[in-house]
Amino acid sequence: MSAVEMLPDDLPAPTGVTAASFLGIAPSEPRARPSGPRVCTECGKDAKYTCPGCQAQTCSLPCSKGHKDRTKCTGKRKRTGYVPLNSYDEAILVSDFHLLQEAGVNLSGAAGSRPQQPRRFEHLP
């Protein structure tokens, strides 16, 4: 008997289930932005954007590109970096899920592209 067959038919469909609640993670407060003026690291004007890779503040696309050229920053968040449990939220959970999905796709694709190794002892009984 499967788990689905064991459930009564009159159970209501779950509502309001999030990944965090399903995993038993307490909902976190939205991340607070740093207080105080946000200043562009390139030109000193009011910053509008934050680099996901290093949290540098920039005001425009030219300043963002300048920041990346000057610091050799990729502009991408380090997906495999350590995240303390108290700052782990649903967005990071989803990002981790997508990373694992991509790894699975890459592994399944790589398995079919390997050349077959010849068997050494096929001629023996």
**Residues 67-88: tens digit of each pLDDT:** 999 999 988 878 888 888 888 8
- Whether 2 shows a pLDDT value over 50: the answer reads no
Q: What's the CA gap between 23 and 25, in Å, rounded?
A: 6
The predicted structure's pLDDT at residue 3 = 47
The predicted structure's pLDDT at residue 122 = 63
Q: Binning pLDDT at 50, 70 and 90, where does residue 92 land?
A: confident
* pTM reported for the whole predicted model: 0.45
Instruction: Identify whether the C-beta of residue 47 lies closer than 8 Å to the C-beta of residue 57.
Output: yes
- Measured CA angle at 98 (ends 30, 12), to 5 deg: 70
